[in-house]
Structure 1
């Protein structure tokens, strides 16, 4: 579904990510982990098309999208939820959803679907998004992206600054989405336990390079923590 081959990315003359190979197979879920400054978000921004690649190739469904714009990648089925629970704070929850859904032929059905996925949002539809809690805004951010009907969903730090009960809800949503088999997920995450519970495979970045990779699952927690301790 998504493949990065020898990808190097940076800012100006500074290279932050060095020669990274990464594969997210159709229907699979993959986590990228590492300490702050390891290059995780930079890697995601390159995958989405927000940063140009210095070297290497990015494939989406086997098609080279290395030089395509972000909106073109969205049309090919890529969805991106950036860090920070982004929303339009002056608009209501429903208006935030409608901004995306109104562009889709089956927008009303899609809104119903994402509200089934995030039922906590149903009681918040008339509330301004800026008045929602961090966890509620994160659910709204993911819901808005799901309205684009992605086949490849990229999440940057989905649990950052979120209360534990909402983290559990997001974990259940990610697990449920990938269990359908028609959606692939790539996420950056600091919480090792959470990341490995919802993903099939992991990569550890250190100073912009992959230093460890392997199968996901709870049994991999020790290996990942050891790799990140080096």
Structure 2
């Protein structure tokens, strides 16, 4: 589904990623982990097309999209939820969703996925809690009907009870079989519970990788402790 082959990329003359390769198959779920500054967000931004590569390739369904702009990648099935619970704060919850789709059945479908939003449709998005805004950000991206959902720190700054709700949704999405998930997450246990593959980044390089699941937590923590 999504593959980065030997990607080197960064900002100006500063390279943040160095010869990075990852592979997320159709219907698969992978977590990118590492300390702050390891290059995790840069990797996602390269995948989406927000940062050009100096060398290497980005492939989507086996097609080289390295030079394709972000909107072209969205049309090919990429959905990106960046850090920060982004929304349009002066618009209502419903208006935020309708920016993507005004088809009632489609909006109803994402509200079924995030039922907490159903009672918040008239409320300005800027008045929602951090967890509610994060659910709104994911719901809005799902309205684009992605086949690959890319999430950057979806639990950052969110209360534990809402984290559990978001985890349940992501697990459900990844188990559908028609949606791949690429996740950057600081909480190791959370990330491994919902993914079947992990990669650890250190100083812009993949230093460890393997099968996900709760049994991999020790190996991941050991890799991150180096």
Runs (5+) with no aligned partner, structure 2: none
d(CA) in 2 for partners of 1:12, 1:178 = 35
Task: Give the secondary structure class of the aligned counterpart of 2:177.
Answer: coil
Listed as ranges, the matches of 1:94-133 within 5 Å are: 94-102=94-102, 107-133=103-129
| Residues 167-223 of structure 1: CA deviation (Å, up to 9, x unaligned) | 101110011011110000001000000000000000000000000000000000110
d(CA) in 2 for partners of 1:88, 1:4 = 32
Deviation, 1:108, is 1.5
Query: What is aligned with 1:38?
Result: 38
Runs (5+) with no aligned partner, structure 1: none
Normalised TM-score (structure 2): 0.99
**CA RMSD, aligned part only?**
0.5
Query: What is aligned with 1:53?
Result: 53
d(CA) in 2 for partners of 1:167, 1:7 = 32
Query: What is aligned with 2:184?
Result: 188
Of 208, 212, 215, 2:211 maps to: 215
Query: What is aligned with 1:153?
Result: 149
Of 137, 141, 150, 1:141 maps to: 137
Give the length in aligned residue pairs. Answer: 226
Residue 70 of structure 2 is aligned to residue 70 of structure 1: yes
Normalised TM-score (structure 1): 0.98
Residue 201 of structure 2 is aligned to residue 205 of structure 1: yes
